[in-house]
Each structure stands twice: as C-alpha cells, then as structure tokens.
Structure 1
Amino acid sequence: MRLKHNLNIGRQWNIMPDWRGLAATCLGLGHSPFAPGTAGSSGALVLVWVIIAYGGTQGGYALLAIAILLYPTGRSLAEWAEQEWGDDPGRFVLDEVAGYLLGAAIVWLATASSPDVTELVALFVLFRAFDILKPWPISRLEELKGGDGVMLDDVAAGILAAVVLLLLPILF
C-alpha cells in the first residue's frame, strides 16, 4: 500500500517581499488611506531634505539623476501596477516622487544653491496643486496610454511647479 503525502497543507507563506509593490507605493506610502499622492510626494520631500543635508554642493545633480532614473523604472512599474490594480491606481506614487524630485532638481540647479525650507514647501504646494488640478498641458499628458500617461503628467507638474517658483521673485 502506497501512502500519499500532501505537503501543501494550509496557507503557503511567501517570505520574499513584493519588490514591485514596495517600489510602486514608495515603500508603502501609496497605501495611505488619505491622499496617497500627497503621502508619496512627502516621501520625496524627505529624500530632498536628506540630500540637502548630506549631498553637498552636487545634490541638485543627484536629484536630477534620481528623477531621470525613476522615469523608465516608474514607467515599467506603472504598467505592472495598472495590470495589478487597475487604470492609474492611486496607490502608485512613484510618479509623484519622480515629479517632485525633478522640480526640486530644477530649482536647485537654476539657483545654484540648495532650496531652503520655504522653497521646498512652496514647491510641494505648487506641485500638488498642478498634479491635482491638471491644467493644460498636464491634462493632455494624462490621456496617454500606459506607463507614459501615468508618469508624464507628474513630470510635467514638477517642471511647471519649478518654473512658477523660479518666476515668482521676478514677477513680484
């Protein structure tokens, strides 16, 4: 008589973290029950503060490099996230991170000095406003399909926020 062994008893546990989910949600910030995009952007703000504190004079270039590297990564992860979570899922916040980091890099490099707290907060408010309100041409970019549509509207919001922040002292 042959005994049948079933080693597949109960729930299987996976001890490997979901790296794509962690990256797409910016280490879980995208799971915030209130304004996940703002939570993801605040993670980017903290990263900028760390780079200001420890990045030296080349911090603006570091931010630019990170933002540039996040684009293809975010584009690929956005396509995965849309398959997993639906169209332009709110918990996917890597686009907000890339957009804010790009805006901070532009401000830093255009002024040749690291942004102060007031500039970082003003950039944050402008970025979130442009990301939420989506004025033209940001609204057109969001209509693109796939990862580009998810990423480019936030990249444009970061660029527009930086340009407005840089123009404010000139205009007023």
Structure 2
Amino acid sequence: MRKPAAEITWTDRLLETLLTSFGLGYSPILPGTCGSLPAVLYYLAVDRMFPDEPMQSWLLAICIMATCVLTVAAGRWAEGFFGKKDSSAICTDEVAGMLLTLLLFRIPGMPWLTLAWVFPITRFFDIVKLPPVRKLEKLPRGWGVLVDDLWSALYGVALLWLIWWLQLGWFGPR
C-alpha cells in the first residue's frame, strides 16, 4: 500500500522519481527492464563523451556507487512509501546491476554491440535469479533490494567473458 497522496512531501516525490528511474518502474509491462533503461542512456552518453579508458570506467564506477548508496540509504523510506520491501517500481537496483555488467564487460569501440549482449543477458539473470541470489533478497532494507541485482550482474559478466574466451566470434572481430 502506497503512502496517501495528502501525506506526500517534495522529498518523497524526489526519492520516488529517482528510485523508479523517472517513473519507468511504474511500467505495467516489465517494470525492471524498463527501469534499467537509464543505465543504457548513461552508458551511451559516457561512451560518446569519453571514448577512452580509464575515464569511461571511472564514470561508470562512480554512477554505480551513487546508485548503490541511494538504493541502500532509501531502503527504509521505500518500504514505508511503497508499503513493501522490494516494490517492482524500484529500479535503481536494476540500474546498478546493468552498469556493473557494463563496467566489467565492454566490447571496445562497439557500444551498440555491447548493449545488444549486455542488456538481455543482465536482465535474464536478474529475472531468473540463480542460487544464491534469491536468498540475498532477504538481506535487510535496501541491501536485499540491491545485492541480488549486483550478484545477478556478475553471473551475466561471467557468461559474457566465457563466450568471449571461447572465441565464438559472436562479438564481432577482435
């Protein structure tokens, strides 16, 4: 149960806007997938403005840290506002997971091909929740909301690097 409209403050509105990825988390279809789209836009902007390393990695890492801090710090507030621990409207965890995958696996000079692989694989592992990811959701407050997505992202990274290592040629020329 969401907080009554008469009791909502501007701080509530700001946190709601940030945690729901500017309202994308309210999508009736695949709210987590829609809510992770700001990570895609951020990555494309960073890749365009800073095509060289290490700046790209630093900017992705800073955004991951900021998103993680926001998710954990607002955990108690979100439970009260949305009326449950891990509302599907909260998407900063999906953003952090997507950015973590992008930080740890990128095809140099090929941002669109990178996204064509990273986006569906990251979302797949977040939705499927291989062990022990489901147990991580039980961590208190924002930690449970966040850590399962970060762990799922690591599964995605492992699969992407395995495909790369097998040299299947699916990522284009090396």
For Structure 1 versus Structure 2, the TM-score category normalised by the shorter chain is 0.7 to 0.9
Contact conserved, 1:51 with 1:59, CA < 8 A, in 2? Answer: yes
- Structure 1 distance, partners of 2:33, 2:19, is 14
Aligned twin of 2:165 = 170
After superposition, give the CA deviation of every residue in 1:104-141 in whole Å (9 maximum; x if it has no partner): 01114xx6x35531221211111111111100122221
RMSD: 2.3
Q: 2:139 aligns with which of 138, 144, 164?
A: 144
C-alpha deviation, 1:87, in angstroms = 2.1
Query: For this pair of structures, how many residues does the alignment match?
Result: 159
Q: Is the 8 A contact 1:59 1:114 kept in 2?
A: no
- Which residue in the other structure is 1:90 paired with? 88
Query: Displacement, 1:103?
Result: 0.9
Q: 1:55 is matched with which residue?
A: 50
Alignment match, 1:122? 117
Aligned match of 2:62: 65
Question: Please, which of 117, 135, 139 is the counterpart of residue 130 of structure 2?
Answer: 135
The structure with the largest alpha-carbon Rg is 1
Task: Give the whole-Å Cα distance in 1 for the aligned partners of 2:138 and 2:56.
Answer: 33
Confirm or deny: 8 A CA contact 1:78 1:92 kept in the other structure: no
In structure 1, what is the Cα distance between the partners aligned to 2:100 and 2:111? 16
Deviates more, 1:55-64 or 1:144-153: 55-64
With normalisation by structure 1, the TM-score equals: 0.83
Calculate percent identity across the aligned residue pairs: 27
Runs of 4+ in 1 over 6 A off after TM superposition: none
Give, in whole Å, the separation in 1 of the partners of 2:9 and 2:149. Answer: 33
Structure 2's unaligned 5+ residue stretches are 1-5, 169-174
Q: Distance in 1 between matches of 2:78 and 2:110?
A: 33
Question: Are the equivalent residues in 2 in contact too, given 1:104–1:115 (CA < 8 A)?
Answer: no
Taking a change above 3 Å as real, the CA distance of residues 39 and 51 of structure 1, as seen in their structure-2 partners, is same
Q: Normalization by structure 2: what TM-score?
A: 0.82
